[in-house]
Amino acid sequence: MRCLQALRSALVLLVLLVLAAAPAVGQNRTDLQPLPAVPPPPPEMAPFDASLEPEVTIKKREGDTVEEHRINGKLYRIKVTPEHGVPYYLTDRQGDGNFTQETMGTPDVSVPTWVIGTF
């Protein structure tokens, strides 16, 4: 008996929802106007420069995967992913070709870029 009552109340609710939505579906609006065209970007914005995009070269060395990141042909970061282990980054902070892996004890602290978890 309760199942029949639940079915009846669900049917009544459905009919009421259809009746409430009927006026909105039946509208034919004639006062609609097209949207204005999108304005061009301001002149002070610099155009896209493809040379600023980093180039990534991936190499396999003795089971490790080495990713070399370059901008304008200059190597600035190396990501090393060992075959068994956690990836780490070597960064050229001064632009002099000396790559370092910063630790928390150095005055020029770099935020670790290791992946802690993925979903």
Contact 101, 89 (CB under 8 A): yes
Domains of the chain: 51-111 (2.20.130.30)
| Type and span of the H or E element at 4 | helix 2-25
pLDDT band at 37 (very low <50, low <70, confident <90, very high): very high
Provide the pLDDT for residue 1: 66
Give percent above pLDDT 90 in the chain. 9
In sequence order, what are the residues at sequence separation of 6 or more whose Cβ sits closer than 8 angstroms to the Cβ of residue 90? 77, 78, 79, 80, 99, 100, 101
Residue with tokens 């910063």: 102
Higher-confidence residue of 73 and 45: namely 73
Mean pLDDT over 63-87 rounds to 87
Give percent above pLDDT 70 in the chain. 78
Q: Residue 21 — φ and ψ, nearest 5°?
A: -85, -15
pLDDT band at 103 (very low <50, low <70, confident <90, very high): very low
Closest C-alpha to 79, from 70, 68, 64, 92:
68
Contact 64, 80 (CB under 8 A): yes
